[in-house]
Amino acid sequence: MRWSNVMRRKVLFMLPSLNGGGAERVLLILLKHLDPAKFDVSLAVVAFEGPYVKQLPPNISIYDLGVKRVRYMFIPLLKLVWKLKPDTIFSTLGYLNIALVLLRPFLAKRVKLIIREGSIVSYSIKHGKLAFLWPYLYRTFYKKADLIVCQSRFMMKDLEDHFQIPAGKMRQIYNPVDIDTIKRKAGSGENPFAGKAGTNIVAIGRLSHEKGFARLIESVPDLLMVRPDARLWILGTGPLENELRSLTYSLGLHDRVIFAGFQENPYCWLKHADLFVLSSFFEGLPNVLLEAIALSCPVLAIRHPGGTGEIMELTGQSDRLIDTIGWKEDWFARPDRKASVKLEQHFEVGGIVGQYASVM
């Protein structure tokens, strides 16, 4: 169907790539669910690569900037913006956000620049390159955006306290959970644990320091005291994969900890798992925790800075937020239906997409 351009706002979304991260997944949901009668949506990608390429909706215009690094995108992006003349530019992920704010003087004044923060900045910048420079960049440039979308109350406070971002520049919007799609995909895949008797525990995320997989692996001997038949399945790829594999061998756990790589359909894993564990040191608002709750999978999370505590509170599962990894038989009990009902009340895709639409 062709839509009239009258009253349709032209929105250009920006991503560095279409790799399998939480920020990319949230943006895909927005692309699929924004009302085409109200929004003329385009997507510009710095490097057109990653597993989410095949999941892009067919009714949007896609522009590959044809470069491999954000620092090379400025000229092709400016040419694209001058050509498309969008009303709103929407970006996510910190380094791309800062790059776009630097382009602000070259954009028409009427263009609304919205950036979505994806992490707890004061924690995430400690472990990156040029750690000494990031605080200055965030304090100086983030406030020049028209609006900063934060995934949690904790994230807003972090930006306000550590980077002097005015509260009036920020809006807290939780991540959307496309419950119907998640359940459909969970039912369409085979049971990955079929023929594998025992207790199957799942952890999902990029194999990097902040996800805390090393401390999770180190707790497996204690897990085996409670559930001798347990296996820990880790879904994801990342820079620490070899190091984490070596850790399992040094602890004699290579037959108990299985690295399953990136899974295009993690939902069938969560549907059939006996427990999902979130071991991160910090999180913005973990999509995978929301998805596990949507599938009525028992969840366990180590207390950390970010929005995880808000999720557990809103779904009535604060008792499953622990200070250190401790294994108890109680953790394997299936949650009652109230948790998924409360999840839908606060994170259902229609309501969240509506909040995003209201700020575009």
**214 and 155 inside one domain:** no
Our count of domains for the chain comes to: 2
In a domain, 183, yes or no: yes
**163 and 276 inside one domain:** no
Query: What is the reported pLDDT for 128?
Result: 67
pLDDT tens across the length of the chain (360 residues):
455 555 799 999 999 888 867 888 899 999 999 999 999 999 998 888 888 888 899 889 999 998 888 888 889 999 999 999 999 999 988 788 998 999 999 988 899 999 999 889 998 888 767 778 889 999 999 999 999 999 999 999 999 999 999 999 999 999 999 999 999 999 998 999 998 889 999 999 999 999 999 999 999 999 999 999 999 999 999 999 999 999 999 999 999 999 999 998 999 999 999 999 999 999 999 999 999 999 999 999 999 999 999 999 999 999 999 998 889 999 999 988 899 999 999 999 999 999 999 999
Query: What is the reported pLDDT for 1?
Result: 47
Query: What is the reported pLDDT for 170?
Result: 96
In a domain, 154, yes or no: yes
In a domain, 200, yes or no: yes
pTM (two decimals): 0.89
In a domain, 139, yes or no: yes
In a domain, 278, yes or no: yes
In a domain, 202, yes or no: yes
Contact predicate 162/350, CB 8 Å: no
**107 and 222 inside one domain:** no
**327 and 197 inside one domain:** yes
Query: What is the reported pLDDT for 94?
Result: 79
**130 and 195 inside one domain:** no
By CB atoms closer than 10 A (0-12, 13-18, 19+), residue 80 is: middle
Q: What's the rounded Cα separation, in Å, for the pair 229 and 192? A: 17
Query: One-letter amino acid identity for 261?
Result: G
In a domain, 233, yes or no: yes
N-term to C-term CA, the chain: 23
Contact predicate 219/286, CB 8 Å: no
**195 and 149 inside one domain:** no
**210 and 353 inside one domain:** no
The domain that holds 270 is classified in CATH as 3.40.50.2000
**191 and 150 inside one domain:** no
Closest to 269 measured CA to CA, from 288, 285, 241: 288
**262 and 323 inside one domain:** yes
**69 and 132 inside one domain:** yes
Q: Give the domain extent around 13.
A: 9-177+348-359
Using CA atoms, how far residue 195 sits from 93, 190, 192, 198, 199, in Å, is 40, 12, 9, 10, 12
In a domain, 309, yes or no: yes
**192 and 323 inside one domain:** yes
Other beta carbons less than 10 A from residue 269's beta carbon: 24
Query: What is the reported pLDDT for 4?
Result: 52
**285 and 352 inside one domain:** no
Query: What is the reported pLDDT for 321?
Result: 95
